[in-house]
Amino acid sequence: MALDRSAKLALIGTAAGLFSGLFGVGGGSVIVPLLVLWLGYTEHEATGTSLAAIVFIAAFAAATQGFYGNVRLLDGVLIGVPAIAGVMIGTSLQQKLPARTISLLFAAVLVAAAIELLAE
Protein backbone atom coordinates (compact mmCIF):
# COMPACT_ATOMS: atom_id res chain seq x y z
CA MET A 1 0.00 0.00 0.00
CA ALA A 2 2.96 2.30 0.60
CA LEU A 3 3.81 2.01 -3.06
CA ASP A 4 0.26 2.77 -4.01
CA ARG A 5 0.40 5.87 -1.85
CA SER A 6 3.70 7.02 -3.36
CA ALA A 7 2.32 6.42 -6.83
CA LYS A 8 -0.66 8.62 -6.02
CA LEU A 9 1.62 11.34 -4.68
CA ALA A 10 3.77 11.09 -7.81
CA LEU A 11 0.71 11.41 -10.02
CA ILE A 12 -0.62 14.39 -8.09
CA GLY A 13 2.82 16.02 -8.13
CA THR A 14 3.30 15.55 -11.86
CA ALA A 15 -0.14 16.92 -12.69
CA ALA A 16 0.34 19.88 -10.34
CA GLY A 17 3.80 20.59 -11.74
CA LEU A 18 2.52 20.63 -15.31
CA PHE A 19 -0.30 22.94 -14.33
CA SER A 20 2.01 25.20 -12.43
CA GLY A 21 4.58 25.50 -15.19
CA LEU A 22 2.05 25.90 -17.95
CA PHE A 23 -0.17 28.49 -16.25
CA GLY A 24 2.07 30.29 -13.78
CA VAL A 25 0.06 29.13 -10.78
CA GLY A 26 1.02 27.10 -7.72
CA GLY A 27 -0.84 23.96 -8.64
CA GLY A 28 -2.87 23.96 -5.44
CA SER A 29 -6.18 23.71 -7.24
CA VAL A 30 -4.97 20.28 -8.41
CA ILE A 31 -3.25 19.23 -5.18
CA VAL A 32 -5.91 20.10 -2.59
CA PRO A 33 -8.89 18.21 -4.01
CA LEU A 34 -6.77 15.16 -4.90
CA LEU A 35 -5.23 14.92 -1.43
CA VAL A 36 -8.74 14.97 0.01
CA LEU A 37 -10.19 12.57 -2.54
CA TRP A 38 -7.36 10.04 -2.94
CA LEU A 39 -5.45 10.17 0.32
CA GLY A 40 -8.18 10.96 2.80
CA TYR A 41 -6.74 14.29 3.93
CA THR A 42 -8.89 16.73 5.85
CA GLU A 43 -9.48 20.05 4.10
CA HIS A 44 -7.14 21.88 6.47
CA GLU A 45 -4.34 19.31 6.16
CA ALA A 46 -4.69 19.35 2.39
CA THR A 47 -4.36 23.15 2.19
CA GLY A 48 -1.37 23.21 4.57
CA THR A 49 0.46 20.41 2.82
CA SER A 50 -0.34 21.88 -0.58
CA LEU A 51 1.24 25.21 0.37
CA ALA A 52 4.42 23.45 1.47
CA ALA A 53 4.63 21.52 -1.80
CA ILE A 54 3.98 24.72 -3.76
CA VAL A 55 7.14 26.28 -2.31
CA PHE A 56 9.19 23.71 -4.24
CA ILE A 57 7.06 23.75 -7.37
CA ALA A 58 6.89 27.52 -7.76
CA ALA A 59 10.57 28.05 -6.92
CA PHE A 60 11.65 25.56 -9.56
CA ALA A 61 9.17 26.79 -12.17
CA ALA A 62 10.14 30.43 -11.52
CA ALA A 63 13.82 29.58 -11.90
CA THR A 64 13.08 27.80 -15.18
CA GLN A 65 11.07 30.80 -16.41
CA GLY A 66 14.00 32.99 -15.39
CA PHE A 67 16.09 30.95 -17.77
CA TYR A 68 13.69 31.97 -20.55
CA GLY A 69 14.05 35.61 -19.48
CA ASN A 70 10.39 36.07 -18.57
CA VAL A 71 10.62 36.97 -14.86
CA ARG A 72 10.02 40.63 -13.92
CA LEU A 73 11.54 40.95 -10.48
CA LEU A 74 10.11 44.34 -9.45
CA ASP A 75 6.59 43.49 -10.55
CA GLY A 76 6.92 40.24 -8.62
CA VAL A 77 7.75 42.21 -5.47
CA LEU A 78 4.89 44.63 -6.13
CA ILE A 79 2.31 41.84 -6.17
CA GLY A 80 4.12 39.43 -3.83
CA VAL A 81 4.60 41.66 -0.78
CA PRO A 82 0.91 42.53 -0.29
CA ALA A 83 0.19 38.87 -0.97
CA ILE A 84 2.30 37.84 2.03
CA ALA A 85 0.03 39.98 4.19
CA GLY A 86 -2.92 38.39 2.43
CA VAL A 87 -1.81 34.84 3.13
CA MET A 88 -1.49 35.63 6.83
CA ILE A 89 -5.07 36.89 6.82
CA GLY A 90 -6.24 33.93 4.74
CA THR A 91 -4.72 31.24 6.98
CA SER A 92 -6.21 32.88 10.08
CA LEU A 93 -9.63 33.20 8.45
CA GLN A 94 -9.45 29.57 7.44
CA GLN A 95 -9.16 28.42 11.06
CA LYS A 96 -12.25 30.40 12.01
CA LEU A 97 -14.82 30.03 9.31
CA PRO A 98 -16.15 27.68 6.71
CA ALA A 99 -14.89 29.25 3.52
CA ARG A 100 -18.25 29.24 1.79
CA THR A 101 -19.08 32.92 1.35
CA ILE A 102 -15.51 33.87 0.62
CA SER A 103 -15.17 31.05 -1.91
CA LEU A 104 -18.22 32.32 -3.75
CA LEU A 105 -16.84 35.85 -3.75
CA PHE A 106 -13.56 34.63 -5.20
CA ALA A 107 -15.39 32.58 -7.79
CA ALA A 108 -17.10 35.77 -8.92
CA VAL A 109 -13.77 37.61 -9.08
CA LEU A 110 -12.28 34.78 -11.14
CA VAL A 111 -15.15 34.82 -13.60
CA ALA A 112 -14.66 38.57 -14.01
CA ALA A 113 -10.91 38.08 -14.53
CA ALA A 114 -11.52 35.38 -17.12
CA ILE A 115 -13.91 37.61 -19.04
CA GLU A 116 -11.42 40.50 -18.94
CA LEU A 117 -8.65 38.24 -20.23
CA LEU A 118 -10.76 36.89 -23.06
CA ALA A 119 -11.81 40.40 -24.00
CA GLU A 120 -8.25 41.78 -24.04
Which residues between 2 and 61 bind other proteins (CB under 8 A)?
6, 9-10, 12-29, 31-33, 35, 39, 41, 44-61
Contacts of 19 (CB under 8 A, 6+ apart): 25, 27, 29, 30
Dump strand ranges (E) for the chain: none
Q: Which of residues 61-80 bind other proteins (CB under 8 A)?
A: 61-62, 64-66, 68, 70-73, 75-80
Q: How far apart are CA 45 and CA 32, in angstroms?
A: 9
Q: Which of residues 78-117 bind other proteins (CB under 8 A)?
A: 78-95, 99-104, 106-111, 113-114, 116-117
Q: How far apart are CA 2 and CA 7, in angstroms?
A: 9
Residue number with CB closer to other proteins (4 or 82): 82
Residue number with CB closer to other proteins (1 or 80): 80
